[in-house]
Amino acid sequence: MPLPERIDQAFEVKAAELTPAHHQLFQDFKAALNRGDIRAAEPDATAASGWRVNAWVKKGILLGFRLGGVVDMSIDATRQPYLDKATYPVRRVGVDDGVRIVPGGSSIRDGVYLGRGVTCMPPMYINVGAYVGDGTMVDSHALIGSCAQIGARCHVSAAAQIGGVLEPVGALPVIIEDDVLVGGNCGVYEGTVVKRRAVLGSGVILNRSTPVYDLVRGAVYTASDEAPLVIPEEAVVVAGSRNVSKGIGKEWGISLYTPVIVKYRDEKTETKLQLEDLLR
């Protein structure tokens, strides 16, 4: 029976009825996540966002939480206690994987794909189900949430938060496509899709509730019940504001936060980003 069908069946089994065979199924499933053979979401040219969610993969991840009891994984239980599900220890990474994990308190949970040339600057955290493409840098204090999909040659800058979307299982996780720069203190949440070569300036927040105003194309991008917020390819997004146009907010002169696309990548943008290559 194919792996997706086996996971779907196991997901319906009550916790008290799970067997050693289910544990072995989960270990095989998690190994496939680590190899990048399966993903919580993958490109799909037929979808409006260019991506589709693999709900069965999310079910497999949730199955792991049911299978595992809380155990002591501490190296030093007094100085640094570490208590978590037995099914989700820290991911093992070797020299042959071609990944840099700079010392200083970072953590990568098992069930994460790390491409060759990924650099992890301390302290940062990558949660289960995430996919991080070749040559991407995850900077200090950055978070890659559960099931988030990060493309190749991206830079997730210091203190950036890429939100996790594990439940509901049918919800698309956050997608950051290839060659995207996510600036410091950015937050990308609720299944937002950032298309290739986009640039998010420092402090930009993207979610399903806040419209994005494109000053170049004269468009407004929003999420809907059927589709996530999608940031166009090569868009340069900065934090902006818009005036409240009616009611007491207008009387008080209040403005609300909104992301604004001020331009699309050009030669000047490329020159500013060239320094990124020196850090990889």
Measure CA 258 to chain center. 21
Is 208 contained in some domain? no
Q: What is the pLDDT of residue 249?
A: 87
DSSP for 177-196, please give it: -TT-EE-TT-EE-TT-EE-T
Residues 132, 259, 279, 123, CA torsion sign = negative
The distance in angstroms from the start CA to the end CA of the chain is 42
Residues, the chain, total? 280
Strand-pair category, 149-150 with 235-243: unpaired
Domain count, the chain: 1
Could you give the CA distance from residue 15 to residue 23 in angstroms, rounded to a whole number? Answer: 12
Q: Is residue 8 part of a domain?
A: yes
CB count within 10 Å of CB 74 equals 12
Q: 51 lies in which domain range?
A: 3-67
Residue 32 lies in a domain: yes
Q: Residue 25: inside a domain, yes or no?
A: yes
- Give tens-digit pLDDT for 16-65: 999 999 999 999 999 999 999 999 999 999 999 999 999 999 999 999 99
Q: Is residue 268 part of a domain?
A: no
Question: Is residue 274 predicted with pLDDT exceeding 70?
Answer: no
* pTM, to two decimals: 0.94
Q: In this model, does residue 272 exceed pLDDT 90?
A: no
Mean pLDDT (the chain, rounded): 94
Confidence check: pLDDT of 123 > 90 = yes
pLDDT computed for residue 70 by the predictor: 95
Per-residue pLDDT averaged across 66-91, rounded? 93
Tens-digit pLDDT profile for residues 91-111: 999 999 999 999 998 999 999
**What one-letter code names the amino acid at 24?**
Q
Output 266 or 111, whichever has higher pLDDT.
111
CATH of residue 14's domain is: 1.10.166.10
Say if 138 falls within a structural domain: no
CA angle 264, 266, 268 (to 5 degrees): 125
Cis peptide before 122 (omega within 30 of 0): no
Instruction: Tell me what pLDDT residue 240 has.
Output: 96
- Tokens for 68? 């595992």
Mean pLDDT over residues 264-271, rounded? 77
Q: With a cut of 80, say whether residue 270 has pLDDT above it.
A: no
Decide if 159 is inside a domain: no
CA distances to 19, 56, 117, 176, 280 from 166, rounded to whole Å, are 24, 11, 26, 16, 30
Q: How confident is the model at residue 276 (pLDDT cuts 50, 70, 90)?
A: low
Tens digit of each residue's pLDDT (9 = 90 or more) over 230-251:
999 999 999 999 999 999 989 9
Cis peptide before 228 (omega within 30 of 0): no
User: Between the CA of residue 129 and those of 16, 17, 37, 149, 166, what are the distances in Å?
Assistant: 25, 25, 12, 9, 8
